[in-house]
Amino acid sequence: MIKKLSILALLISFISCQSLNSIKSELDSVSDKNFILSEFVYIHTGADTDSAFSEMSAFPVKKIMYLLASEYNIQIDISDFNRFAKTKKKNEIKAEGFFRLEKFSWKSSIPSKNRITLTFEKDYMDTSKMSLVISIIAQDKIIKNIKLEFSKIEFMFRQLKFYLPQYDKNENEYNIKSYENSQSVPGLIIGTIDDNVKSTLKEEEIKRAIEDYIKTLSTEEKKSFKHDMIDFIYRVCE
C-alpha cells in the first residue's frame, strides 16, 4: 500500500512539473512579453458594489503580479487597475445577479491580446471559504488557469508557491526591497496619479464627508446647514 502511494505521489509530482514547464515554455515562445491586468471579478452572493470595491482594492494584486512577472520573465501593466483603485471609480464595476447581486466585474479599457485576469470568490454561507483563479492569456489563448482554494490570504500564497518554482527567491526580494510600497518595481508598470486627479480625489473625499454628515441631520438641520455652507463657500471664495 505504501509503495503504491509513493508511486502515486511521484506521478502527481511529475505531472505537475510537466505542467509548470509547459507554461514556462509557452510564455518563452511568445515574442511580446508585455501583459496587462485586464479584469478582476469578485463573486459573492448578496454583496454590493461598495463591498466589492473594498475587496478588490484591498486584494494583494501587486504582489501576485510581481511573482508572476518574475517567474515567467514578463512585464505586467497594472496601471489601469491602480488608477481604478486609487481614484475609487466604483462606477467602473459591473454588478450582475438575478434575485440578488452576486458577480462584480472590473475590466480595463486597455485592449491587449496578452493579459492576466483574476476571479476571486467567497462562499455565500461561509466567507472563510475562498477561491482564486488566475488566468494567464497570451495572444488570446489561455495558457494556464491557476486555481487556488484557501481560508486566509496567507494560505493563498502558500498554494501559489506550488505553481511557481522561483516563489521563495522572488517573494524574498519583494519583501527585502519593500516593493509593496514602491512605485518602481521590476516587471510591473504601476502608473502614477497626476496632480489634477489628486485634486479631484480630494474634492470627492470632501463631498463624501459632507454627504455622510448630512445623513445624520434632521430636515430642519439640513436647511440650516445648506444656508451656512453656501455663505461659507461664498466667503472663502471671494
**Residues 28-33: what's their mean pLDDT?**
78
Residues 117 and 230 in one domain: no
Residues 188 and 203 in one domain: no
Q: DSSP letters along 170-198, please?
A: HHHHHHHTTGGG-S--TTEE-----HHHH
Residues 106-155 have pLDDT tens digits of: 999 999 999 999 999 999 999 999 999 999 999 999 999 999 999 999 99
Residues 108 and 204 in one domain: no
Regarding pTM above 0.85, the answer is no
Q: How far is CA 31 from the centre of its chain?
A: 26
Domain that holds residue 225: 194-238
Total number of domains constituting the chain: 2
Is 3 inside a domain boundary?
A: no
Higher pLDDT, 150 or 25: 150
Is 209 inside a domain boundary?
A: yes
Residues 181 and 202 in one domain: no
Helices (H) and strands (E) in the chain, counts: 8, 8
The Cα angle at residue 109 between residues 107 and 113, in degrees rounded to 5? 85
Residues 70-117 have pLDDT tens digits of: 999 999 999 999 999 999 999 999 999 888 899 999 999 999 999 999
